């Protein structure tokens, strides 16, 4: 199809909107029309001019900010190795002529490298060599730059490139190798230069050299400060740094007070060994090892908080870079260098295990901590252990690796930054036909007791002990895991199967929930602000408190009013109209100055100060006899059965008892500064204590004089009658009691994490011996429990308000840690009124 021929087009071809508008105006009055056209033209000119002015202004602004604005001040720090100059001691002294001579040459090398690059040269402000160390001579330096903001990235890139370009250069008679440079905190760099809080320490052979934060221990360290300690050892040595006391501001993500330890003499990020904040109990092994004979410790603080700081000491040890071993015995142990101190960076250790004869070998890693926050635990690119081409890293619970031959090679590798405590392992040889004599062999190679097979618990860690089981008549089968669990776990309100299959078809019909008093209520009535249960259960976990009729499940305010909220006491919310749920007297308890959750290194020793309410009660003849808990500055709570006269000893006589508070190690009870000793002024056991059933097993003791609270001595909170410690909650038992049934007591305070067990289930296991004043805790599968000598001590529950509550008092049990025989504790909530009536607390 052809287009129509257009000979004359009355409309201009332009699509300029303004011209179009002009054309479409009604042309009735030509004069008016002309005037208006002029006006419009003026408007157009105005707009064009305004646009021009705006673009010039914008251009000027861009030019100002990009080209003329305050330049960025940048500091780089790094090191380079001079390979053709031998190290001499004078290099350690910045005032020596040798230091001056070499630093001039190194500075020249650096400046010439900078000048050769147009992205760096024009921006150099200064370049200073700060220190030298052995190897052959490692030179540390700080370089300052002033660069326009728009050229900052180019400078960073060029500095990165420079590392590669300057590798292995020969200039000014120096052979230079391993050149590194990283941006650093300019304020930290200034500290190095102004010497205000900058210390240089050289270890003396065989002597511990101490250093502390300024003012320690009498004054808190200062806010907004930067300090650094440059540590040196003799040539051919490494540094072993140990923080004896570490009490800093609690850790805050990406800010707050931080202590950083570098495997270098300058603050280079890729040489960080550890960044520390918060408080560590003295028993935590805060020990670090360098790769060379230098280390740097820096302190950066923010503008808030008053904290004591740290006390550190360091020694030198001969440098040995070889580690690992040829292991030829049938069994043995091995660990990362300096375990349980942090292993050194930049190490490779190989253990070559060859067990005798036709035996096979397996390794059990008892402790395994190779954690680097940024590293992926799947590929383990940083620190790792490698066995049969498989890498292991991160923080792992005990595990076993077995080999199908008599040989196994274990390779450990640490990179240049961030070290951890490492591993401790044992190796064993086994008969390939019978890897676990009289035991069950897990798929992983681990051996477990035969009774633990098909018991409903994943004892192997890989569930191989619970697969292909035939459930006994006392068991039922969980749907997802297919585990066989004890039948009394059904319908107990606890999801034991993990998929809830043990809690379906229970007494409450579908869409109904169970009250604590056993009643069922429709689930939509939960949190409807009406007490449908009659005991407040359905309104107790709704965030707010509802006044309701008083029952044993409700909290009673001082006014006499009762509220529905679960465990409202000291939760930081004023739930009672009279605020009596947040009374200071009842809430200043259960605090742990050393709140850091530490790793258990070597067994189940408690950390120092971890259980500051734990008391050891001694008699002259028996020594440590029972535990107790501090509940105020003068009152201890313990078990009545500890104070029953027996075999010629008048245990009921208060004068025979001595209480040790703040105690950790029984052997140092008269030597340690943190331990306080008190005699007992008054002792009262519950009148209803039954020495046959152990019902009402509670007593209180009054100290002859009050104790002052310290980091190691604090009272535990007494829970209200209505306080609920839910079944299956994890809870801690502590004491110096026997470590095996019939065994001897522990010297160091022990701790064990156990779980609260359903009262009905426990009563079945203990053949009806429980009274309402007892609670059970432990494991049905056994293994972890309190034992003789722990009696009277606390069952401590860490609650969501961060405080620790006395949930129970160690009372009795059928033996210790036996299967199906959990420990029994005096139920403190049931004794709340007795405590109040007798002690006024």
Measured from the CB atom, the residue of 639 and 835 that comes closer to ligand 4AZ is 639
Measured from the CB atom, the residue of 703 and 810 that comes closer to ligand 4AZ is 810
Catalytic residue (choose from 290, 540, 629, 791): 791
What is the closest distance, in whole angstroms, from the C-beta atom of residue 737 to ligand 4AZ in the complex? 7
Identify whether the C-beta of residue 810 lies closer than 8 Å to the C-beta of residue 627.
yes
Measured from the CB atom, the residue of 267 and 774 that comes closer to ligand 4AZ is 774
Q: Distance from first CA to last CA of the chain, Å, rounded?
A: 105
What is the closest distance, in whole angstroms, from the C-beta atom of residue 662 to ligand 4AZ in the complex? 23
Residues of 28-44 as b/e, b for ≥16 C-beta within 10 angstroms? eeeeeeeeeeeeeeeee
Dist. CA 609–CA 625, nearest whole Å: 21
- The burial class, CB within 10 Å (0-12 / 13-18 / 19+), for 81 is middle
Identify whether the C-beta of residue 570 lies closer than 8 Å to the C-beta of residue 582.
yes
Catalytic residue (choose from 618, 641, 664, 723): 641
CB atoms within 10 A of CB 311: 17
CA within 13 Å, CB half, 483 = 24
Dist. CA 48–CA 54, nearest whole Å: 10
What is the closest distance, in whole angstroms, from the C-beta atom of residue 789 to ligand 4AZ in the complex? 6
Kind plus residue range of the DSSP H or E element containing 348: strand 347-354
Q: Is 27 helix (H, G, I), strand (E, B) or coil?
A: coil
Instruction: Judge whether 126 counts as a catalytic residue.
Output: no
Binding-site member from 823, 827, 831, 834 for ligand 4AZ (CB under 6 A): 823
What is the closest distance, in whole angstroms, from the C-beta atom of residue 625 to ligand 4AZ in the complex? 10
Binding-site member from 147, 238, 557, 810 for ligand 4AZ (CB under 6 A): 810
| Residue whose entry in the numeric block shows the structure tokens 């096979």 | 360
What is the closest distance, in whole angstroms, from the C-beta atom of residue 528 to ligand 4AZ in the complex? 43
What is the closest distance, in whole angstroms, from the C-beta atom of residue 763 to ligand 4AZ in the complex? 16
Dist. CA 749–CA 713, nearest whole Å: 14
Q: Which of 823, 817, 742 is nearest to 781 (CA)?
A: 817
Dist. CA 224–CA 202, nearest whole Å: 27
Report whether the peptide linkage leading into residue 217 is cis, meaning its omega lies within 30 degrees of zero: yes
Instruction: Judge whether 279 counts as a catalytic residue.
Output: no
Interaction between residue 616 and ligand 4AZ (CB under 6 A): no
What is the closest distance, in whole angstroms, from the C-beta atom of residue 788 to ligand 4AZ in the complex? 4
What is the closest distance, in whole angstroms, from the C-beta atom of residue 534 to ligand 4AZ in the complex? 36
What is the closest distance, in whole angstroms, from the C-beta atom of residue 734 to ligand 4AZ in the complex? 12
In the bound state, the residue with its beta carbon closest to ligand 4AZ is 813
What is the closest distance, in whole angstroms, from the C-beta atom of residue 795 to ligand 4AZ in the complex? 11
Interaction between residue 239 and ligand 4AZ (CB under 6 A): no
Dist. CA 275–CA 342, nearest whole Å: 13
Measured from the CB atom, the residue of 414 and 638 that comes closer to ligand 4AZ is 638
What is the closest distance, in whole angstroms, from the C-beta atom of residue 775 to ligand 4AZ in the complex? 12
Catalytic residue (choose from 455, 697, 711, 785): 697
Measured from the CB atom, the residue of 630 and 816 that comes closer to ligand 4AZ is 816
Interaction between residue 813 and ligand 4AZ (CB under 6 A): yes
What is the closest distance, in whole angstroms, from the C-beta atom of residue 642 to ligand 4AZ in the complex? 8
Measured from the CB atom, the residue of 191 and 811 that comes closer to ligand 4AZ is 811
Report whether the peptide linkage leading into residue 340 is cis, meaning its omega lies within 30 degrees of zero: yes
Backbone conformation region of residue 463, classed left if phi is above 0, alpha if psi is from -120 to 50, else beta: left
- Please provide residue 353's backbone torsions phi and psi, each rounded to the nearest 5 degrees: -100, 130
- The burial class, CB within 10 Å (0-12 / 13-18 / 19+), for 798 is middle
DSSP state of 646: B
Residues 778-807, one symbol each (x = binds ligand 4AZ by CB under 6 A, - = not), give -------xxxx-xx----------------
Binding-site member from 262, 732, 812, 834 for ligand 4AZ (CB under 6 A): 812
Measured from the CB atom, the residue of 303 and 740 that comes closer to ligand 4AZ is 740
Q: Which of 416, 374, 383 is nearest to 273 (CA)?
A: 416
Measured from the CB atom, the residue of 564 and 791 that comes closer to ligand 4AZ is 791
Interaction between residue 181 and ligand 4AZ (CB under 6 A): no
Q: Which of 443, 441, 467 is nearest to 454 (CA)?
A: 467
Interaction between residue 816 and ligand 4AZ (CB under 6 A): yes
Cα-to-chain-centroid distance, residue 423: 18
What is the closest distance, in whole angstroms, from the C-beta atom of residue 812 to ligand 4AZ in the complex? 6
Measured from the CB atom, the residue of 246 and 651 that comes closer to ligand 4AZ is 651
Dist. CA 77–CA 820, nearest whole Å: 63
Dist. CA 701–CA 710, nearest whole Å: 20
Dist. CA 576–CA 580, nearest whole Å: 6
Helices (H), 588-706: none
Query: Partners of 184 in the beta sheet?
Result: 75
Q: For residue 438, what are its two tokens?
A: 């009289």
Q: For residue 823, what are its two tokens?
A: 């420990």
Dist. CA 591–CA 712, nearest whole Å: 10
Measured from the CB atom, the residue of 188 and 816 that comes closer to ligand 4AZ is 816
Residues 736-775, one symbol each (x = binds ligand 4AZ by CB under 6 A, - = not), give ----------------------------------------
Measured from the CB atom, the residue of 486 and 793 that comes closer to ligand 4AZ is 793
Instruction: Judge whether 641 counts as a catalytic residue.
Output: yes
Q: CA-CA distances (angstroms) from residue 224 to 140, 149, 221, 248, 380?
A: 26, 27, 10, 14, 37
Measured from the CB atom, the residue of 715 and 823 that comes closer to ligand 4AZ is 823
Dist. CA 402–CA 405, nearest whole Å: 9
Measured from the CB atom, the residue of 595 and 763 that comes closer to ligand 4AZ is 763
Starting at the earlier edge strand, list the strands of the sheet with 347-354: 324-327, 347-354, 407-414, 384-387, 390-392
Q: For residue 665, what are its two tokens?
A: 């190690």
By CB under 6 A, what part of segment 373-402 binds ligand 4AZ? none
Q: Which of 780, 777, 775 is nearest to 695 (CA)?
A: 775
Q: Which of 239, 251, 338 is nearest to 296 (CA)?
A: 239
Identify whether the C-beta of residue 81 lies closer than 8 Å to the C-beta of residue 102.
no
Dist. CA 319–CA 235, nearest whole Å: 9
Residues 399-418, one symbol each (x = binds ligand 4AZ by CB under 6 A, - = not), give --------------------
How many residues in the shown chain lie near ligand 4AZ by CB under 6 A? 11
Positions in the binding site for ligand 4AZ (CB under 6 A) = 785-788, 790-791, 810, 812-813, 816, 823
Q: Which residues are catalytic?
A: 641, 697, 791
């Amino acid at each position: 199809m052809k287009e129509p021929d257009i000979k004359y087009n009355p409309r201009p071809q332009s699509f300029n909107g303004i011209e179009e508008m002009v054309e479409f105006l009604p042309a009735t009055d030509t004069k008016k029309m002309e005037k208006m056209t002029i006006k419009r033209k003026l408007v157009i000119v105005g707009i064009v001019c305004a646009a021009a002015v705006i673009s010039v202004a914008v251009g000027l602004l861009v030019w100002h900010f990009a080209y003329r604005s305050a330049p960025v001040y940048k500091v780089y720090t790094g090191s380079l190795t001079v390979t053709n100059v031998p190290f001499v001691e004078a290099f350690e002294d910045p005032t020596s002529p040798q230091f001056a001579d070499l630093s001039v040459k190194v500075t020249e090398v650096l400046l010439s490298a900078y000048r050769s690059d147009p992205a760096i040269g024009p921006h150099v402000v200064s370049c200073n060599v700060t220190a030298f160390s052995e190897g052959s001579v490692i030179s540390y330096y700080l370089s300052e730059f002033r660069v326009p903001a728009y050229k900052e990235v180019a400078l960073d890139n060029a500095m990165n490139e420079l590392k590669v370009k300057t590798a292995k250069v020969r200039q000014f008679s120096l052979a230079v190798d391993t050149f590194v440079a990283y941006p650093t905190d300019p304020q930290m760099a200034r500290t190095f230069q102004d010497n205000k809080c900058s210390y240089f320490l050289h270890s003396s052979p065989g002597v511990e050299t101490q250093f502390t934060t300024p003012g320690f221990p009498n004054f808190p360290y200062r806010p907004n400060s930067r300090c650094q300690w440059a540590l040196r050892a003799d040539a051919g040595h490494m540094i072993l740094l140990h923080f004896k006391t570490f009490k800093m501001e609690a850790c805050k993500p990406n800010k707050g007070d931080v202590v950083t330890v570098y495997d270098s003499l300058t603050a280079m990020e890729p040489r960080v060994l550890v960044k520390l904040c918060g408080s560590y109990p003295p028993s935590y092994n805060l020990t670090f090892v360098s790769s060379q004979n230098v280390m740097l410790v820096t302190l950066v603080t923010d503008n808030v908080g008053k904290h004591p700081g740290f006390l550190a000491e360091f020694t030198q040890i001969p440098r040995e870079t070889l580690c690992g071993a040829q292991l030829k015995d049938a069994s043995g142990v091995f660990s990362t260098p300096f375990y349980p101190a942090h292993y050194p960076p930049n190490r490779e250790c190989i253990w070559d295990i060859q067990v005798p004869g036709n035996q096979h070998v397996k390794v059990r890693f008892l402790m395994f901590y190779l954690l680097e926050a940024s590293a992926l635990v799947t590929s383990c690119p940083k620190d790792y252990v490698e066995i049969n081409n498989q890498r292991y890293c991160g923080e792992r619970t005990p595990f076993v690796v077995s080999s199908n031959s008599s040989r196994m090679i274990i390779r450990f590798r640490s990179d240049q930054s961030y070290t951890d405590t490492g591993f401790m392992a044992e190796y064993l040889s086994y008969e390939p036909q019978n890897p676990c004599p009289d035991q069950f062999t897990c798929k992983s190679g681990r051996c477990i007791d035969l009774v633990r097979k098909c018991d409903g618990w994943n004892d192997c860690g890989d569930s191989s002990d619970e697969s292909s089981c035939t459930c006994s008549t006392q068991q039922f089968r969980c749907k997802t895991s297919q585990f066989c669990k004890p039948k009394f776990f059904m319908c107990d309100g606890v999801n034991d199967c993990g998929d809830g299959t043990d809690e379906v078809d229970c007494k409450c019909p579908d869409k109904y929930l169970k009250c604590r008093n056993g009643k069922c209520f429709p689930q939509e009535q939960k949190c409807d602000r009406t007490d449908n249960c009659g005991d407040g259960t359905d309104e107790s976990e709704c965030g707010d408190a509802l006044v309701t009729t008083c029952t044993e499940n409700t909290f009673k305010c001082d006014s006499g009013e009762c509220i529905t909220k679960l465990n409202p006491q000291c939760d930081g919310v004023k739930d009672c109209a009279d605020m009596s749920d947040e009374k200071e007297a009842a809430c200043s308890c259960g605090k742990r100055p050393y709140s850091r959750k530490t790793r258990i290194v070597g067994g189940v020793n408690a950390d120092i100060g971890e259980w500051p309410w734990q008391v050891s009660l001694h008699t002259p003849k028996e020594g440590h006899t029972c535990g107790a808990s501090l509940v105020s500055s003068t009152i201890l709570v313990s078990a009545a059965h500890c104070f029953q006269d027996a075999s010629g000893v008048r245990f009921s006589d208060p004068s025979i008892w001595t209480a040790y508070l703040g105690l950790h190690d029984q052997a140092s009870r008269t030597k340690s500064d943190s331990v306080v000793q008190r005699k007992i002024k008054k002792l009262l056991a519950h009148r209803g204590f039954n020495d046959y059933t152990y019902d009402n097993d509670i007593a209180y003791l009054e100290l002859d004089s009050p104790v002052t609270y310290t980091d190691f001595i604090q009272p535990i909170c007494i829970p209200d009658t209505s306080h609920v410690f839910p079944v299956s909650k994890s809870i801690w038992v502590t004491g110096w009691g026997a470590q095996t049934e019939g065994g001897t007591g522990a010297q160091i305070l022990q701790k064990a994490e156990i779980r609260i067990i359903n009262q009905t289930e426990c009563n079945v296991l203990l053949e009806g011996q429980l009274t309402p004043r007892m609670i059970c805790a432990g494991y049905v599968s056994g293994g972890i429990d309190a034992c003789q000598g722990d009696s009277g001590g606390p069952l401590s529950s860490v609650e969501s308000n961060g405080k620790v509550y006395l949930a129970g008092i160690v009372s009795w049990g059928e033996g210790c840690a036996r299967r199906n025989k959990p420990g029994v504790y005096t139920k403190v909530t049931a004794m709340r009124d007795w405590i109040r009536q007798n002690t006024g607390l």
